[in-house]
Amino acid sequence: MHFAEEVTAGFFFLAPWIVFAPVIGLLINIIFGNRLSERMIGSVASVASGVAFVISVLLAYSVSANHGEVVRWQLAEWIHIGNLNLDWTFRVDSLSTTMMLVVSGVGTLIHIYAIGYMHEDVRFKNDIPRFRRFFVFLNLFIAMMMILVSGDSYLMLFVGWEGVGLCSFLLIGFWYELDTLGRPSWANSNAAKKAFVVNRVGDFGFLIASFIMFWALGSFQFDQVFEAAQGVAPGVVLAITLFMLIGVAGKSAQIPLYVWLPDAMAGPTPVSALIHAATMVTAGVYLITRSAPLYMLVPQAQYIVALTGAITALFAATIAVGQYDIKKVLAYSTISQLGFMVAAVGMGAFVAGMFHLITHAFFKALLFLSAGSVILGVERGHHHAEHAHHTGKHTKGKGKKKEEAHAQGHGEVFDPNDMRNMGGMRKTMPVTFRVYLVGTLALAGIVPFAGFWSKDEILLDASLHYPFIYLLLSIAAFFTAFYMGRQIWMVFFGEPRHEAAAHAQESPRVMTVPLMILAFLSVVGGALNLPFEGFHNLGHWLEYTLEEVEALPLDYGVAGISTVLALAAIALSWYVYGRNPLRAGEADPLKRRLGALFTGMEKKWYVDELYNAIIVTPYVRISQFLADVIDWRFWHDWFHEKVIAGTYNWLSNIALNRYADQRGIDAVANGLGDFTQWLSVTLRKIQNGFVRSYALSVLVGVVLIVGYLILK
Amino acid sequence: MVPVNYYIILSAILFTIGVVGVLTRRNALIIFMSIELMLNAANLAFVAFGSLLQTFSGQIFVFFVIAVAAAEVAVGLALIVEIFKSKRSIDVDQMSSLKG
């Protein structure tokens, strides 16, 4: 790694604008957005993201022009306390520019797509002014993600880490008062809360790792940490890396903290594509790659990371087989593919992991956005069919199937995400079908699509060094191809199982053009790191940042096995789902054959229920106990009411009022008055008007005085 | 010579009778007479002591007393006549308008 002593040629001074551009975009939308049209709002946001992309390109170019020298561009001082010196510095090297390009590139395409998607979504949900809020949040996310990938220290990275967690919460709960079907419910806000809370558990791990880092190594800044790590006991580095793994498990949805990601599908589909497929969830992979020097010191931690990734990959892939919601399949697929990435970087194949991160961003964003297109198409069909009913133009009696489907369209809640309602979409939505097919083939790992090259590299590395991991990943790859095939047959082939699917309409160009661009990238993305002599472009690029890069040539054995597995899985999916397409109201054919196994897969192996029973319910009960019993009944009702208030009332009422005041002071005062009255009553009797008694009094007085004078 | 004690005792008796008369009689004229009796008792005492002490002061003082008594009676009788005109009675017990 070489450092630039001073910033030489290049566009490094533009570095802060990768953050500022999206921030300016969101500020424009916040301040002026209520006066702008939807097109303007979306364009402002997309341009802001696009500017960030352009700057990322320029930064990448500058890095390559400088032969990969790392440039640290300081923006501002931040914390200078005691031994801690932390600044807001942008780290521009090959690894961070790679992430910047992915985030801003895919992000801009998703922004453009979202203009079309949200235009329809806010009309389906009946809240048109909320359009603006979506793009404010999206830009905020891009800004935060940029802070994450360009940070020069673990703490700056954490600022972005938390920021993207916040944006995830805001965007998952975008329709916070509804559920995915548009009914008033807690469902969406619960999903957002779950994402945030589970992420917090991961953040806890990250923070502990940072604290250990500062305490043992004295800094947060990457280079200082990596240097100091060479000299401490391996146990310290082991602790740091394992706690960091908890953070990765939270953010990148690995076992045991993956449970938020399927629920996060409650958010609008562009959110699922951007945050929960292409960018935020890859932050964990980026973190491990960035911390490569730490992980290389502790092979045990590496194995644990790789194992976590591989087990997650297989586990999530099995769940994906049993899902009916089109987005849930993709969500579990994401978890599974993240498992692949985490396994790769755990094994030390950082280039393979990053390569898969990039290609996955392409085809998973493509798949999610296409799924969004499908969902909107079905929604359009649903509304179109309802309108047709209301205007009486729908012809009845055309076969039993149509009547069954017709009956389903009335009076019951319609789930546009459910694949059991779809079918035959390749005729109604041809463009979406074609790009979806490209994405599927890329994900399944069919040569020459992008996914094949990146996944194959991971499998190759695993086969050489970690055979058990290789086994797990291969089985996961088999499942991957199977469930994607299942999805294709269920959604696009056969006959529509609901009139909404029969009336589905293709999406507008503002949505399909980004899809086509992503499809193109999914086809040619493999060129980034072809495993042939003279290529390995990404490897060479990342070599500037990472120390050891093992550039492996293509192994036809491993590639062959993985291709055979993928093709076999697709063939099997055709046999189960494609040969006899599902009809309306039919159960999944696997349910009959696998029975309880399929139910387990469908019910996500009851992990959420397990967490609920072990963690959530006791926690809620404890907090209810603390609130109701300890806080209210004990503290408030007894202590405050009886003890404190009672004592005070006793003091003031009984002690002071009754005894001191009434019986004490009042007695004296009243007694004085009474005495005076008695005295006057008594003395009044003397004045009786009788002269003789007056004369007697005079006599008595004279006698007394004279007597006194005489006797003195 | 008659011992001066006898005169003093006589004076005392007369005075006492006068006091009793003032205190117990209801007729205003009788009360006045009793007052005169008391005054005269005092006169007697003055004269007795004047004789004892061989001085004329006693007798001179008796003149004053007689004059004052006369004036007092004049005023008093005028008052009683006025009271009789309004109350048609000189019973002192009936003159209790100042009763509080």
pTM beyond 0.90: the answer is no
| Pairwise CB contact (< 8 Å): B100 & A691 | no
Minimal C-alpha gap between A685 and chain B (Å): 8
Ranges under pLDDT 50 in chain A: 397-409
One domain, residues A131 and A258: yes
Distance of CA A433 to the CA centre of its chain: 29
Pairwise CA distance, residues A351 & A220, whole Å: 24
Minimal C-alpha gap between A669 and chain B (Å): 27
CB-based contact (8 Å) between B1 and chain A?
no
Lookup result for tokens 């055309």: A398
B12 to chain A: which residues are within 8 Å by CB? none
Minimal C-alpha gap between B36 and chain A (Å): 15
pLDDT given for residue A400 in this prediction: 43
The verdict on residue A691 lying in a domain is no
Please check whether residue A401 is in contact with residue A584, taking contact to mean a CB–CB distance below 8 angstroms.
yes
Total number of residues shown for chain B: 100
Q: Say what angle helices A299-321 and A467-492 make with each other, to 10 degrees.
A: 20
One domain, residues A552 and A617: no
CB-based contact (8 Å) between B92 and chain A?
yes
Pairwise CA distance, residues B77 & B82, whole Å: 9
Q: Scanning every residue of chain B, which has its alpha carbon at the shortest distance from the alpha carbon of A684? A: B100
Ranges under pLDDT 50 in chain B: none
pLDDT given for residue A153 in this prediction: 92
The verdict on residue A405 lying in a domain is no
* Pair of tokens at residue A72: 């640290």
DSSP characters over A51-116: HHHHHHHHHHHHHHHTTT-BEEEEEEEEEEETTEEEEEEEEESHHHHHHHHHHHHHHHHHHHHHHH
Residue of B16, B22, B34, B89 for testing the chain A interface, max A β-carbons within 10 Å: B22
CB-based contact (8 Å) between B96 and chain A?
yes
> What type of residue sits at position A613?
A
Pairwise CA distance, residues A61 & A55, whole Å: 10
For B:23-42, CB contacts with A below 8 A are 23-24, 26
The verdict on residue A106 lying in a domain is yes
The verdict on residue A667 lying in a domain is yes
Other residues' Cβ atoms within 10 Å of the Cβ of residue B13: 11
Q: Scanning every residue of chain B, which has its alpha carbon at the shortest distance from the alpha carbon of A693? A: B23
One domain, residues A508 and A638: no
Q: Return the domain boundaries, chain B.
A: 4-91
pLDDT given for residue A631 in this prediction: 81
Q: Scanning every residue of chain B, which has its alpha carbon at the shortest distance from the alpha carbon of A696? A: B23
Burial level of A350, CB count in 10 A (0-12/13-18/19+)?
A: buried
One domain, residues A422 and A290: yes
Residue of B16, B32, B94, B96 for testing the chain A interface, max A β-carbons within 10 Å: B96
Pairwise CA distance, residues A668 & A688, whole Å: 32
Please check whether residue A515 is in contact with residue A113, taking contact to mean a CB–CB distance below 8 angstroms.
yes
B100 to chain A: which residues are within 8 Å by CB? 684, 687-689
Q: Tell me the count of A-B CB pairs closer than 8 A.
A: 31
Half-sphere exposure of A692 (CA within 13 A, CB side): 18
CB-based contact (8 Å) between A689 and chain B?
yes
Minimal C-alpha gap between A695 and chain B (Å): 7
CB-based contact (8 Å) between A681 and chain B?
no
Please check whether residue A291 is in contact with residue A244, taking contact to mean a CB–CB distance below 8 angstroms.
yes
Please check whether residue A511 is in contact with residue A110, taking contact to mean a CB–CB distance below 8 angstroms.
no
The verdict on residue A394 lying in a domain is no
Boundary-marking domain end, from A602, A621, A651: A602
CB-based contact (8 Å) between B80 and chain A?
no
Minimal C-alpha gap between B59 and chain A (Å): 23
One domain, residues A517 and A374: yes
Sign of the CA dihedral running A355, A359, A360, A361: positive
| Pairwise CB contact (< 8 Å): A689 & B23 | no
Q: Scanning every residue of chain A, which has its alpha carbon at the shortest distance from the alpha carbon of B97? A: A689
A691 to chain B: which residues are within 8 Å by CB? 92, 95-96
| Pairwise CB contact (< 8 Å): A695 & B23 | yes
Enclosing domain of residue A277: 12-387+416-602
Best CA proximity match to A165, nearest among A201, A130, A214: A201
The verdict on residue A702 lying in a domain is no
Pairwise CA distance, residues A639 & A207, whole Å: 39
| Pairwise CB contact (< 8 Å): A688 & B19 | no
One domain, residues A354 and A486: yes
The minimal CB distance from A699 to the residues B19, B95, B97 is found for B19
One domain, residues A238 and A167: yes
| Pairwise CB contact (< 8 Å): B99 & A691 | no
For chain A, counts of helices (H) and of strands (E): 31, 2
One domain, residues A242 and A294: yes
Minimal C-alpha gap between B94 and chain A (Å): 8
Lookup result for tokens 């590299």: A457
Pairwise CA distance, residues B11 & B63, whole Å: 17
Other residues' Cβ atoms within 10 Å of the Cβ of residue A85: 15
Pairwise CA distance, residues A387 & A391, whole Å: 6
B95 to chain A: which residues are within 8 Å by CB? 689, 691
Minimal C-alpha gap between B79 and chain A (Å): 14
Question: DSSP class of residue A552?
Answer: P
| Pairwise CB contact (< 8 Å): B92 & A692 | yes
CB-based contact (8 Å) between A696 and chain B?
yes
Please check whether residue A293 is in contact with residue A229, taking contact to mean a CB–CB distance below 8 angstroms.
yes
A699 to chain B: which residues are within 8 Å by CB? 19, 23
Q: What is the pLDDT of residues A250-282, one digit of tens each?
A: 999 998 999 999 999 999 999 999 887 778 888
Q: Scanning every residue of chain A, which has its alpha carbon at the shortest distance from the alpha carbon of B100? A: A687
| Pairwise CB contact (< 8 Å): A687 & B19 | no
The verdict on residue A688 lying in a domain is no
DSSP characters over A123-171: HHTT-GGGHHHHHHHHHHHHHHHHHHHHBSBHHHHHHHHHHHHHHHHHH
Report the complex ipTM: 0.85
The verdict on residue A677 lying in a domain is yes
Which helix (H) or strand (E) is A359 found in, with range?
helix A350-390
CB-based contact (8 Å) between A35 and chain B?
no
The minimal CB distance from A689 to the residues B22, B24, B96 is found for B96
How many structural domains are present in chain A? 2
| Pairwise CB contact (< 8 Å): B99 & A687 | yes
Minimal C-alpha gap between B91 and chain A (Å): 11
Long-range contact list for A439-442, CB < 8 A, 24+ apart?
A439/A363, A439/A364, A439/A366, A439/A367, A439/A370, A439/A518, A439/A519, A439/A522, A440/A367, A440/A484, A440/A485, A440/A487, A440/A488, A442/A359, A442/A362, A442/A363, A442/A366, A442/A522, A442/A523, A442/A525
Q: Scanning every residue of chain B, which has its alpha carbon at the shortest distance from the alpha carbon of A687? A: B100
The minimal CB distance from B99 to the residues A689, A692, A699 is found for A689
Boundary-marking domain end, from A602, A627, A653: A602
pLDDT given for residue A663 in this prediction: 80
Total number of residues shown for chain A: 712
Which helix (H) or strand (E) is A345 found in, with range?
helix A326-346
* Pair of tokens at residue A148: 């994450």
| Pairwise CB contact (< 8 Å): B100 & A699 | no
One domain, residues A581 and A549: yes
pLDDT given for residue A403 in this prediction: 43
Best CA proximity match to A259, nearest among A606, A622, A621: A606
One domain, residues A593 and A620: no
One domain, residues A571 and A644: no
The minimal CB distance from B99 to the residues A688, A695, A699 is found for A688
One domain, residues A588 and A663: no
Secondary structure of residue A325 in the 3-state scheme? strand
CB-based contact (8 Å) between A699 and chain B?
yes
pLDDT given for residue A7 in this prediction: 52
For A:599-618, CB contacts with B below 8 A are none
Boundary-marking domain end, from A561, A585, A602: A602
| Pairwise CB contact (< 8 Å): A688 & B92 | no
Minimal C-alpha gap between A657 and chain B (Å): 41
Long-range contact list for A21-24, CB < 8 A, 24+ apart?
A21/A48, A21/A49, A21/A51, A21/A52, A21/A55, A22/A48, A22/A49, A22/A52, A22/A139, A22/A140, A22/A142, A22/A143, A22/A146, A23/A139, A23/A140, A23/A143, A24/A48
Which CATH number describes the domain made up of B4-91?
Answer: 1.10.287.3510
Q: Report the DSSP pairing between strands A71-81 and A84-92.
A: antiparallel
The minimal CB distance from B93 to the residues A684, A690, A695 is found for A690
